[in-house]
Structure 1
Amino acid sequence: MNPAPLSQAQAAGGALLSEAQIQAALEPLRGRFTRQKVLVLIPDHTRTLPLPQLFRMLVGILDDVKTLDFMIALGTHPPLDEAQMLKLVGISAEERHTTYRYVGLHNHAWQDPDALATVGVVPQARVMEIAGERWHPTLGGDVQVKLNRAAVEADQIIILGPTFPHEVVGFSGGAKYLFPGISGPEMINVTHWLGALATVRGTIGLKDTPVRALIHEAARHVPTPITLIALVVQGSGLAGVFVGDHISAWSAAADLSSQRHIVWVDKPFKQVLSWAPPMYDELWTAGKAMYKLDPALADGGELIIYAPHLDTVSKVHGKYIYEIGYHTVPYFLNQWERFKHVPLGVLAHSTHVRGSGTWMNGQEHPRIRVTLASRIGPEDCQRLNLGYLDPDTLNPEDFANREAEGVLLVRKAGETLYRVKEGA
């Protein structure tokens, strides 16, 4: 049985925590890491949380450490420049060189071998055991457990991040900030492809998933002690803060997230307009507007990703995505020789955006239609195997208040999961 979190604060009902309550939840960290080298892992701009407030609180509480570095757990997201990093943590350029001059701000460099340290191996047999019925030979053999060298050189790791329903791991947060957050490509690829084999609909919003188990298995190899500050975000504030070891604090946050971030609907919708917010500046992340609504869509229905600000598929992975397009898992598994050169993480993203489906008589049959209304043009959408709508001809309000017709508008999609009630 996991120990209780070191400290926690949870708002009642639909309320939010006050600043004093948040501060009180973090206070037990004061004096715990005196004269130690501390590395704090944080998300990038594609996650909602009051990071500027938390950054200032945490720096104040950790005022007696030897060194304090914040690292953006990018996974394979593009690195942030200096101005973007300052905006992320909410400090000015002047503060950067005065008040916070001793605080490091870094990007994770997942593609730089010199930035990574190998801390262990998860044998193929263990991967097979964890994957269970989801195992497939395309997952490969033993998996090298690599992560940013700064995590090994630190005396303590603190993870600061939110927990939401997640398409790959079930619920985000916790050790996910290690793998894939600051890991090497091996764990990134295997975890995402295992999630794809399990499917979004069979993973998202579930606590116990094969990918979560694999991430926790990899975390056992990390030699540095880990403390987690698990957050449950509601709107612009916090509904919960859980501080403790990375398993118990995450577990408590996932339990609260399941209450705050899942909307249960009586019956599936035939059409959903899923409005991706500007923080998703690539389709690589705006795909969350699909993942969180897919379980609430009827077979044969249509999901429209409405992102009038978006003009990029992926700065890092765009070449591969344009090569393969967006398809279902059976499409790739039944033509593996054509696609085995593509990183598993990219294949996984493709299947997550396209949704589930079947393969019959050499043809792919997706469960639903996925249409993109963005600055990515019709020719590109055709190449990507997605439908196209001109966002300038689309009025989101035309989709509002039509639930009785089987039509749903979600105004800030990507973090709240919609699911159909069991037995509906």
Structure 2
Amino acid sequence: MTTLYDVRPAAVIGGPDEVLADDQVTAFVHEALAGAGLDGRSVCVIVPDATRSCPLPLLMRAVHGALTGRVSRLTTLIALGTHAAMTPAEIETHLGGDYPGMEVLNHEWSDPATFVHLGTIGADRVGEISNGLLHEEVAVRLNRAVVEHDVALVVGPVFPHEVVGFSGGNKYFFPGVAGQEVIDLSHWLGALITSSDIIGTRGITPVRALIDAAAELIPAEKLALSVVAQSGTSALHAVAFGDTRTSWEAAAAVSAETHVRYLDKPVQRVVSVMPPKYQDIWTAAKGFYKLEPVVADGGEVILYAPHVTHIAAMHPEIEQIGYHCRDYFLAQWDRFKSVHWGVLAHSTHLRGAGTYSEAEGEKCRVQVTLVTSIPEHIVRGADLGYLDLATFDLKSYESDPDTFVVPNAGETLYRLADH
């Protein structure tokens, strides 16, 4: 029998040292949703795309089984943010099959008709949330599928995250199925704080506070099945059910113990071996974000991703501006302020900590080098280091005492033990 216990007041099964059986997960989902007051109501299920480890077929079978015949309408919306749309074949694999009576939608973020305007967060409120880093109003637009259902049910994993601290919860709305305005503002706020300072931060970070403020404008009831995945596998450590705040808080507490590793001293070089779920540098950059904190000054992060052929097919601007530290953009703001701030943020997140002045130029703390199938001139044109895939010998790095090789990189955060 599934045991439930309350965590302010989320119901939770599992924990940092547990691996749940499929039948435990299914029973928990059925029991949780049975008591959620969903009968006769319309439900929009918001799920991640394939760039996150999560046994989504298991969860979707449980959710579909628990809600079919009880709710008036059931829709699943894939939270792409600004990632590429999934094909029908990819969606079927991702969700684990077809589900009778359930409509499945990609978040069509490039189509203005996708969105409903929910309201505006004023400049003074943004200034308060951001601790004075930003002071401007932001329009809040959201995928109309969420607004046109009675209940929005988030189903997805929680990991340390470079923009918000820990992913999950209301982040599935913003930026998951949001308009560009909140995406740009929230990501640039994270960039101003810097990835290395915010990643893996527990509690309500300024970016999380901005996302939560936007989520308050959603008319639908907001619930979440927040899961903590065993990274790189289809297993789960824990599942939490509640509203999108309490469920996320419970899962983030478990993620902080399962997805953070500590090293005793800095390493000179990291090789992040990127799994195929990261299909471009826009997503594979997580292999840098999660390792930057343990790299010594003047060190290097090598992203080893032979399958990657593009920097960012959905965001070609990044090849034009290149990768630079935060101060590079701030010192030349008039030149760059018209570029989507989400693109600028991604640039700073991958380039990491650094300084810039007109007299001395840009000095970044860590070198970033790609070993991919992207042509050399494109890599170097984006201000990144290049190593030839054809001659790269991973085994030699694995035997090098100055190199830390990380398989399946991108989800586990590495930190120094004394920080």
The TM tier, using the shorter chain, reads: over 0.9
Structure 1 residue 28 displacement after superposition: 2.0
Partner secondary structure for residue 197 of structure 1:
helix
Distance of aligned partners of 1:12 and 1:170 in 2 relative to their CA distance in 1, 3 Å threshold: closer
Distance of aligned partners of 1:79 and 1:12 in 2 relative to their CA distance in 1, 3 Å threshold: closer
Equivalent residue, structure 2, for 1:18 = 21
Equivalent residue, structure 2, for 1:267 = 265
Equivalence map 1:186-201=2 (5 Å): 186-201=181-196
Whether contact under 8 Å (2:16, 2:238) holds in the other structure is: no
Whether contact under 8 Å (2:78, 2:105) holds in the other structure is: yes
Structure 1 residue 247 displacement after superposition: 0.8
Structure 2 Cα separation of the partners of residues 150 and 291 of structure 1: 32
Equivalent residue, structure 1, for 2:3 = none
Residue-pair matches, total: 407
In the alignment, does 2:374 pair up with 1:376?
yes
What are the superposed Cα offsets for residues 207-258 of structure 1, whole Å, 9 maximum, x if unpaired?
2311011111111111110111100001320000000011111011111000
Q: Which amino acid aligns with 2:74?
A: L
Whether contact under 8 Å (1:5, 1:244) holds in the other structure is: yes
Equivalent residue, structure 2, for 1:385 = 383
Which one of 83, 87, 102 corresponds to residue 89 of structure 2? Answer: 83
Q: Which amino acid aligns with 2:82?
A: T
What are the superposed Cα offsets for residues 92-135 of structure 1, whole Å, 9 maximum, x if unpaired?
xxxx3xxx2311110112222211011121111111111115x0
Equivalent residue, structure 2, for 1:294 = 292
Which one of 67, 71, 74 corresponds to residue 65 of structure 1? Answer: 71
Whether contact under 8 Å (2:51, 2:277) holds in the other structure is: yes
Structure 2 Cα separation of the partners of residues 241 and 248 of structure 1: 12
Structure 1 Cα separation of the partners of residues 221 and 16 of structure 2: 32
Structure 1 residue 3 displacement after superposition: 6.5
Which one of 13, 27, 32 corresponds to residue 28 of structure 1? Answer: 32
Equivalence map 1:309-320=2 (5 Å): 309-318=307-316, 320=317
Which one of 60, 85, 91 corresponds to residue 55 of structure 1? Answer: 60
Structure 2 Cα separation of the partners of residues 84 and 12 of structure 1: 31
Of 121-130 and 27-36, deviating more is 27-36
Whether contact under 8 Å (2:323, 2:350) holds in the other structure is: yes
In the alignment, does 2:364 pair up with 1:358?
no
Equivalent residue, structure 1, for 2:224 = 228
Whether contact under 8 Å (1:301, 1:368) holds in the other structure is: yes
Structure 1 Cα separation of the partners of residues 7 and 291 of structure 2: 34
Partner secondary structure for residue 197 of structure 2:
coil
In the alignment, does 2:399 pair up with 1:422?
no
Distance of aligned partners of 1:24 and 1:354 in 2 relative to their CA distance in 1, 3 Å threshold: same
Could you say what the CA RMSD is over the residues aligned between the two structures, in angstroms? 1.5
Equivalent residue, structure 2, for 1:178 = 173
What are the superposed Cα offsets for residues 342-386 of structure 1, whole Å, 9 maximum, x if unpaired?
100000001111111011325111111000000112111110000
Structure 1 Cα separation of the partners of residues 84 and 379 of structure 2: 22
Structure 1 Cα separation of the partners of residues 241 and 22 of structure 2: 16
Whether contact under 8 Å (1:290, 1:305) holds in the other structure is: yes
Q: Percent identity?
A: 43
Equivalent residue, structure 2, for 1:102 = 101
Gaps of 5+ in 1: none
Structure 1 Cα separation of the partners of residues 325 and 89 of structure 2: 38
What are the superposed Cα offsets for residues 324-349 of structure 1, whole Å, 9 maximum, x if unpaired?
00011111111112212210000000
Equivalent residue, structure 1, for 2:118 = 119
Whether contact under 8 Å (1:205, 1:258) holds in the other structure is: yes
Partner secondary structure for residue 202 of structure 1:
helix
Structure 2 Cα separation of the partners of residues 264 and 335 of structure 1: 36
Q: Which amino acid aligns with 1:325?
A: G
What are the superposed Cα offsets for residues 168-214 of structure 1, whole Å, 9 maximum, x if unpaired?
00000000000000110000000000000010110000023110111
Equivalent residue, structure 2, for 1:336 = 333
**What's the TM-score, normalizing by structure 2?**
0.94
**What's the TM-score, normalizing by structure 1?**
0.93
Which one of 196, 204, 215 corresponds to residue 219 of structure 1? Answer: 215
Which one of 26, 46, 55 corresponds to residue 51 of structure 2? Answer: 46
Which one of 237, 246, 255 corresponds to residue 248 of structure 1? Answer: 246
Structure 2 Cα separation of the partners of residues 212 and 25 of structure 1: 27
Which one of 4, 17, 22 corresponds to residue 8 of structure 2? Answer: 4
